[in-house]
Amino acid sequence: MKSTIGRNSVFRSLPFSFWPALVVVGCLLWTASGLAQAPPPGGDYGPTNVPLASWSFQDPTNWTSDQGWSPISFTNLAFSNLGDGASLVVDSNVPAWLQYYVYEPTNAATNLTVDSGSVTFWFGPDWASTNQGGTGPGQWVQLIDVGEWTTNSSYGYWGLSVDPQGQNLWFVSQDGAGNTYTLSTPVSLTTNYFHFIALTYSSTNVSLYWDGQLATNDPGGLSVWPAAGVLSNGVFFGSDTNGQMQAAGLFNLVATYDYPLDSNDVQTIFNWYYGYYMISPWNIPYMDNLSSAPANPTYTPTFDAITGQGNLQWVANAANCVSNANPYNIWITNVTARAAGNGTMNITFTIEGGWSGVPYDVFANSVLSFGPNGAPWTWEGQGYQCNTYMLTNMPNTTCFLILGTPQDTSGSGLTDAYELLVAKVNPDGSQTDSYGVPYAWYAENGLVPITSGLATQDPDKDGLLNWQEYEYGTRPTVSEGMAIWVSTPNGNSSIP
Q: What is the pLDDT along the chain (496 residues), one digit of tens a residue?
A: 222 222 222 222 222 334 455 444 443 332 222 222 333 334 444 557 889 999 999 999 999 999 999 999 999 999 987 777 789 999 999 999 999 999 999 888 999 999 999 999 999 999 999 988 889 999 999 999 999 999 999 999 999 999 999 999 999 999 999 999 999 999 999 887 889 999 999 999 999 999 999 999 999 999 999 999 999 999 999 999 999 999 999 999 999 999 999 999 999 898 888 766 655 665 555 455 678 899 999 987 889 999 999 999 999 999 888 887 788 888 888 888 888 877 788 999 999 988 999 999 999 987 767 777 677 899 999 999 999 999 998 877 667 888 998 889 899 999 999 999 999 999 989 999 999 999 999 999 999 999 889 999 999 888 889 999 999 888 999 887 655 554 444 544 454 4
Which stretch of DSSP H or E encloses residue 466? helix 466-472
Domain with CATH 2.60.120.200 in the chain: 50-260
Phi, psi of 159 (to 5 degrees): 180, 175
Contact 83, 194 (CB under 8 A): yes
Instruction: Return the bridge partners of 173, or none.
Output: 158, 181
CATH number of this structure's domain 50-260, picked from the four choices 2.40.30.10, 3.30.450.20, 3.90.1150.10, 2.60.120.200: 2.60.120.200
Residues in a beta bridge with 341? 344
CB 438 within 8 A of CB 450: no
Prediction pTM value: 0.59
Cβ pair 264, 197 in contact under 8 A: no
Cβ atoms of 360 and 403 within 8 Å: the answer is: yes
Q: How far apart are CA 375 and CA 370, in angstroms?
A: 7
